Amino acid sequence: MRVVAGECKGIPLKSAQGDNTRPTTDKVKESLFNIIGPYFDGGLVVDLFAGSGGLGLEALSRGMDHGIFIEKDNKAFQALQYNIAKCRYEEQTECYRNDATRAVKALIKRDEVIDLIFLDPPYAKIMYYDVIHQLVEANKIAKDGMIICEHSKQFTLAEAYGDFVCQRTEVYGDIAISIFQTKGE
């Protein structure tokens, strides 16, 4: 696993040991960013269920200004902190070892909007996608922002979260990635 493109291109990323996380492969990451980017002009990225941080770090490498990473698992959190340091993004990131539902409540209280959010919860925990509704209802996702959900291809997400409509779903083996944006974006 590595950073695929941008200023940190080629930097290898450490993944958490054990079965609690499934890092997004470089092939899937490259394909996803070719669809949603491939590069950005600043903004805030949130990597909820960050694991080792591969998606959020890729977004920072490709031009996002600031990243917030949320990960509950201790081993994954240690790998995440290592990877942030390896990419030299300590000044551009906030990293929290926390449950996603608590983290979303904290995000709602902040005075900023999210330009890009990645959600990749454990596949068996489909109820975690409900946090998207909370963020959308609180106007915490920029009108031109994107919500990226990684999920099992057997699971179909809602067609929309408020004004954010599923614009595209791509399947890679057993996983699917659904991209939500407001109509007209």
pLDDT in tens, 22-40: 678 888 899 999 999 899 9
Split at pLDDT 50, 70, 90, the class of 19 is low
179: three-class secondary structure by DSSP: strand
- Tell me: pLDDT of 54 over 60: yes
Q: What local confidence, expressed as pLDDT, does residue 21 receive?
A: 62
Residue 20 inside a domain? The answer is no
Residue 6 inside a domain? The answer is no
Q: What is the CATH number of the domain that holds 91?
A: 3.40.50.150
Residue 64 inside a domain? The answer is yes
Q: What local confidence, expressed as pLDDT, does residue 125 receive?
A: 73
Cross-sheet strand order for the sheet of 160-161:
93-96, 66-70, 44-48, 114-119, 141-152, 175-182, 164-172, 160-161
Residue 50 inside a domain? The answer is yes
* 8 Å CB contact between 143 and 128: no
Residue 86 inside a domain? The answer is yes
Give the closest residue to 172 by CA, choosing from 35, 28, 64.
Answer: 28
Q: What local confidence, expressed as pLDDT, does residue 66 receive?
A: 98
Give the closest residue to 56 by CA, choosing from 10, 100, 8.
Answer: 8
Radius of gyration of the chain (CA): 15
pTM confidence score: 0.93
Split at pLDDT 50, 70, 90, the class of 127 is confident
Residue 14 inside a domain? The answer is no
Residue 136 inside a domain? The answer is yes
Number of domains the chain contains: 1
Residue 13 inside a domain? The answer is no
The two tokens of residue 53 are 């941080």
CA distance 56 to 117: 8
Q: What local confidence, expressed as pLDDT, does residue 185 receive?
A: 47
User: Quick check: bond before 122 cis, omega within 30?
Assistant: no
Split at pLDDT 50, 70, 90, the class of 124 is low
pLDDT greater at residue 184 or residue 11: 11
Print the domain residue range for 140.
26-182
